[in-house]
């Protein structure tokens, strides 16, 4: 049987996603969310914006890796910035 090798970056990535989900769950319990309309063309909750942000962060990384010679660290910075903007004003 083959086992998946968990490298440090892979572990950090999945741990960060798990921490975000746990944090959002606690935030929801303490302060239930209300749908609101930001710059996105739909009404969203915090969870919706997190999902959209994580999905679009994956596309940002794929675009940088596939179409540019830029560093993956630049894609990480752009993704984090986009996620913060989306969570605040999306």
**Domain-located, residue 3:** no
The mean pLDDT of 55-77, rounded to a whole number, is: 89
Residue 45 structural domain: 8-89
Q: What integer pLDDT is reported at residue 11 of this predicted model?
A: 86
User: Domain total for the chain?
Assistant: 1
**Domain-located, residue 1:** no
The pTM of the full predicted model, rounded to 2 decimals, is: 0.79
**Domain-located, residue 41:** yes
Of the candidates 90, 89, 58, 88, the residue with the CA atom closest to the CA atom of residue 76 = 58
Query: Any bridge partners for residue 44, and if so which?
Result: 36
CA distance 33 to 23: 14
pLDDT band (50, 70, 90) for residue 1: low
The single-letter DSSP state of residue 11 is H
User: Is 45 in a helix, a strand, or coil?
Assistant: coil
Residue 12: is its pLDDT beyond 90? no
């Amino acid at each position: 049987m083959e086992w998946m090798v968990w490298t440090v970056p892979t572990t950090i990535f999945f741990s960060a996603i798990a921490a975000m989900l746990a944090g959002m769950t606690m935030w929801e319990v303490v302060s239930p969310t209300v749908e609101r309309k930001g710059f996105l063309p739909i009404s969203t909750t915090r969870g919706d914006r997190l999902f959209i942000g994580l999905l679009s962060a994956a596309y940002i990384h794929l675009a940088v890796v596939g179409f540019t010679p830029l560093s993956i660290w630049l894609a990480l910075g752009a993704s984090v910035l986009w996620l913060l903007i989306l969570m605040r004003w999306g």
